Amino acid sequence: MSTPVVAVTGATGRLGGRVARRLSAAGVAQRLVVRDAARAPDLPGASVAVAEYGDGPAGRAALSGVGTLFMVSASESPDRAAEHRTFVDSAVAAGVERIVYISFYGASPDATFAHARLHWETEEYLRSTGLATVMLRDNLYLDFLPALMGEDGVIRGPAGDGRLSAVAQDDIADAAAAVLSDPARHDGKVYDLTGPEELTMTEVAAILTAHLGRQVRYVDETLEQAYASRAHYGAPQWEVDAWVSTYTAVAAGEMAGVSPDVADLAGHPATTLAELLARG
């Protein structure tokens, strides 16, 4: 096999794994950069390299000979921004030409959602390297919406009547695979990956009710109530802040808006919540 031109991170996860399988099916040679080789998927046309984002030397070795890097963000942690910078530096040192980065919808320095601010920092760092970049800014995962519901059938959070255009992971993967199959054509582009509809949390609850055949409802919390209802998890403050800011970003209108980019890139309409649920 010739030297892989595409490196895929996160291949042991839900999104990176979907992208890797699509590239393999399309005959694209790839290098799967993972933390644990034993968990890497066994795919035709794929080799495996081991590296963590925060390990510069391992990153440089894993990315040697790679032309395009598909970079899924690191696991949520207080050190995530620093790990991103280290891995990007590794890519530069290894001679990578282009990074296709999974960012977040509405990424900006003053975004309400905490992680959207972090993604903006990473975007800016990527731009500072001089490498070619493609930013794929996905909205919240449509697949995750059922998990917002508690065991009592209640979605709780300070989202008010705000709307979100959540996007299916399969749609993100289809769009990313299309970009990675002909990456140079997309250099410098920023794509907004959304679903085809804007839903309030009340509407999400109604769709879940119809699918599950039992009552699901949304309770709009105050900020104080939101922090109190999540206190029993014992999560660190930065993580609770991120959870709560997911809802306040919806309330602020920062998760709303429908983009045509999924359909344009993937070649099919984006998936609705009802369609995703019907698939099982």
Question: What does the pLDDT read at residue 187?
Answer: 97
Angle between helices 14-25 and 169-181 (to 10 degrees): 50
Cβ pair 63, 55 in contact under 8 A: no
Question: What does the pLDDT read at residue 1?
Answer: 43
Residue 19 clears pLDDT 60, i.e. is over it: yes
- Residues 6 or more apart from 266 whose CB is under 8 A from it? 171, 174, 175, 178
Residue 160 clears pLDDT 80, i.e. is over it: yes
Where residue 77 falls among pLDDT bands split at 50, 70, 90? confident
* Cα–Cα distance measured from residue 40 to residue 28, given in angstroms and rounded to the nearest whole number: 17
Mean pLDDT along residues 144-171: 97
- DSSP assignment, residue 151? T
For the chain, the residue count is 280
Residue 3 clears pLDDT 70, i.e. is over it: no
Per the prediction, the chain carries an average pLDDT of 95
The structural domains of the chain, ordered by start, are 6-139+167-195+258-268 (3.40.50.720)
Mean pLDDT along residues 180-195: 97
Where residue 280 falls among pLDDT bands split at 50, 70, 90? confident
107-156 tens-digit pLDDT: 999 999 999 999 999 999 999 999 999 999 999 999 999 999 999 999 99
